[in-house]
Amino acid sequence: MLVTVIIFGIHFAEVGYLSLKVQEAATFAAWEATGRRVQDLGAGTDAPFDAIVGGPSAVGPLARAAYRDFNGLSSVDTGADQVVKGLTRGQGLAVTCTRNDALSFRPTTTASKVYFDTGGISCRAEARLSAAHFPTRFLDQADGFFKAQQYDARGAAQGGAMKVCSMGRAVGGSCGGSMSLLLNDWGLAGDAEKAECRLTVGNPGGCDSSTGGSPAPPPNTVYKEAVRRMWSPSFSGAVTFAMQYAGAAPARPNEFWFSYAGLESGYLTQNGGEGRGEWHTGGPGVATSTVPDLEVAKSCFLGMPGRPGQGCP
């Protein structure tokens, strides 16, 4: 009896450990998804989201490759699709992430011209665990020690293997629980979207920038075009208003004069001709005469220092 207690104690401890690794695999996939891009602001498409849930770079296959040996450390990757502990075998680990349209965060009518209600994702993982290095006949068969069903008393270990899930328990041999979260990157990211878009007099379709770098990023026309898409539906209304009350439109409203001067220029943009020569376009100094000494955002994630070659010193 003492030997039996020791065997079961070791086996159940290993079952618990490997079950946690199954949960960790699903968590890995969900966490990886949070760092992926959901939509392309410049192209006006949510095609990047499709690469999160499908294709060779999807987070599900990535998590499965990392945890197929029930160990997420690349330094100890055995390359095998199973692991055998002292008295327990783990195999068949699978990670699945699918689109979840039930998760929604709708933008306003104006913002919907730019941002998409996209990004709901659900991830789950499952695997099979079985006894190793001791026969189940010892547990279950009529000629065994117990002479009664022990290992598969409730049908949880059909064929000698238990199905374990990342969330909840298997029902009818299937894992139905999953971890769900809403993704989206409603902001600017990357070299094409980090620079200024300062006003260029006489050229309403263009802009320039003083944002440094090697090579210097292009002017932020992505930001400008995103704002234009939000407000262009109301341009015709401006003409109607001018015709009603002034008899003619003083300017063509489809000439979209937009500018943004960033920290690189002290949030100041200049204008020749009539009116004030310069003004603040935003930032902490918009209501004061001075702008605090701040730092231009880094290229790496959240401005944190990175390894050489990743855009940060």
Residue range 19-77, pLDDT digits in tens: 999 999 999 999 999 988 888 888 888 889 999 999 889 999 999 999 999 988 877 77
Contact 195, 211 (CB under 8 A): yes
pTM to 2 decimals? 0.73
Residue 124 has pLDDT above 80, yes or no: yes
Q: Write the CB contacts of 43 (distance below 8 Å, at least 6 apart in sequence).
A: none
Mean pLDDT of 203-229: 86
Output the CA–CA distances (angstroms, integers) from residue 2 to 5, 7, 15, 143, 268, in the order listed.
5, 9, 20, 20, 80
Band of residue 14 on the pLDDT scale cut at 50, 70, 90: very high
pLDDT on residue 298: 54
Contact 198, 259 (CB under 8 A): yes
Q: Could you give the CA distance from residue 59 to residue 179 in angstroms, rounded to a whole number?
A: 14
Residue 260 has pLDDT above 50, yes or no: yes
Residue 183 has pLDDT above 70, yes or no: yes
Identify the residue with better confidence: 201 or 244. Answer: 244
The amino acid occupying position 276 is: R
pLDDT on residue 259: 82
